[in-house]
Structure formats: C-alpha cells, structure tokens
Amino acid sequence: MSSSPSTPGLNQVDATPWSERLALREYWELTKPRLSLLSVITALVGYMAADPQRSAGIFLSLLVGTSLSAGAAGALNQWLEREVDRRMARTQSRPLPSGAVSPQAALIFGLSLGIAGSTLVWLGANPLAGALTVATLISYLLVYTPLKRMTSWNTLIGAVPGALPPLIGWAAANGQIDPLGWILFGILFCWQIPHFMAIAWLYRDDYAQGGFVMSTVNDPSGQSAARQSILHSLLLLGISLLPVFLGYTSWFLFGAAALICGMYYCWTALGFWRVKGQDRTSASRKMFLASIAYLPLLLGALVLDRWLIG
C-alpha cells in the first residue's frame, strides 16, 4: 500500500521534462526552420558580399534578428493558414492543425518574435535594414499569404519578400543598397520561380484540396508552370552573370559557378517543359533538386570571390 502513492509522483516527475521537450519541439516547428534558415543565410550572404568592415556587433544583430523575424514569418503564416492546413495531408500534422499549440499561443509567439527580431536589426544594424525586415514580414504575411487563395500570380508576388533578405544584409553592411545588392535581389527572385513551380507540381492535389490558386491547379497540364520555369531560369542565368560583366566578381570563381549552375538549372527547367503527364513528376523532382544545389553553390562562390579575389 505504501508504494501506491509514490508511483504517480515518479511518473509525473519523469513526464515533465519530456512534456517540456515536446512543447519546445512544437514551437520550433512553428518557425518553419528549414525555410527560415534560407532567409537567414541569404541575409548573411548579402552582408558578407557587401564586404563590410566586419563588425561583430552588426553581424550578431543581423544573425539573431533575421532568425527571429524569419521564425515569426513562419509562425504567423501557420496561424493565418491554420484552417487550410487542416485540409491538406502534408500539413495536417503541423502544431496548429494537430492541436499541439493553441492559436492564441501561436499568435503571441509569432508577434513576439517579429517585434524582437525587427527591433534588433533596426537598432543593432541601422534603420534601413530594420525597415526592410518589417517590409519582408508585412509583404509575406499580409500580401502573399492571402493571395495564395485568390490568384495564381501569388508565386511571382511572393517571390518579392523571398528575395528581400539579401537586401537586409546589404543595408546592414553599408546603410544603403548598391547595384550588386539589387542583383542579388534579382537572383533570389528568379531562382524562386522554378523552385516553387516544382513544389506546386508535386503537391498540386494537396494545394487544390486546400483551396490554393496555384498555376498547377489552374492548369493541370503543367504547361503554364513549365513556361514560367524556363523563362525565369533563363533570366536567372543572365542576371547571375551581371556581377562579372560589371566588375564586381571574377570569371575564375563566381563567373564559372554562375555559368555552370545556371545552365544546369535551365536544362532541368527545359526537361520539365518537354515531358507530359506523370513524367513531369520525375522532371519536377530533378528541377527541385537542382534548385536546392544551385543556391549554396552560387552564393558560396560569390562570397569567396568577393573576399578572396575581389
């Protein structure tokens, strides 16, 4: 009899750390960590490509501030789309649809991250970088997110907030945006279109179920998505070579990377356009994998070129 009261107590003590770890994991998932990481990395690339005086304080403010702001975008996006996420198979297990986190808690969490992150960039770097951080959040949450259920143009419009992080980093370094910063914006903008068209094709049934107006939902043949992929991969190839022609980088490192990576990306987009029906699924995966490889290779070459050669 004396052992009975102790058993629940032991279970309760053992369960508490596990419950806390589980809750932390759910909030971590709210931030969309993989997508957030891309925003943080491209902001840091913008900072490093600007060849600043390498201020540790500004770099740390940019790193932490953009991390918090990107996490806020993920959390608030999931809060806005919580009902839609319940209808799609690939998002039903997210913290809000699954009930692991309440809508009120997610809203407070997201707003807190957004305010802290943008304030840190504003004060730790400069007002221009902070204003661009706020503009990224507003355009992503209040423009792109609702447009996903209104028009297939949402992908092009959504590419704008997706391309702003390099400008945040550039502004943090120099307090202004130079031509190379705008070229980085163009690279990120064009890169996103084939990347997202591949995703839109792979998850077209899910998007239709969720009520998203995507190119692959409006045009189930995939021809519209393929045409946009070819167009923007070709534009990307041209824009990515501008730093060489304008004297910002060398042909030896960045120019070679831009040419090789850009031509391969174009080739996968062409393959996505040439095939029909279910064969597009394999081609879209190839284009998606090319997009994943393209960005770190190109941006890594840019930073190395600027620091070692330029």
Percentage of residues in the chain with pLDDT exceeding 90? 84
Identical fold between 15-176 and 178-310: no
**For range 266-286, the mean pLDDT:** 91
Find how far residue 73's CA is from the centre of its chain: 10
The amino acid that residue 161 corresponds to is P
112-158: per-residue pLDDT in tens? 999 999 999 999 999 999 999 999 999 999 999 999 999 999 999 99
pLDDT at 308 over 80: yes
The predicted model scores a pTM of 0.90
Tokens linked to 264:
């391969």
Place 292 in a pLDDT band, splitting at 50, 70 and 90. very high
The amino acid that residue 276 corresponds to is K
Which overall architecture, per CATH, does domain 15-176 show? Orthogonal Bundle (1.10)
Mean residue pLDDT of the chain comes to 91
Neighbours of 8 (CB within 10 A): 9
> For the chain, what are the domain ranges?
15-176, 178-310
For domain 178-310, give its CATH number from 1.10.1740.10, 1.10.357.10, 3.50.50.60, 1.20.120.1780.
1.20.120.1780
Angle in degrees, CA 158, 100, 72, rounded to 5 = 35
Neighbours of 69 (CB within 10 A): 31
Place 190 in a pLDDT band, splitting at 50, 70 and 90. very high
Q: Are 70 and 36 in contact (CB under 8 A)?
A: yes
pLDDT-wise least confident of 48-57, 120-129, 213-222, 258-267: 48-57
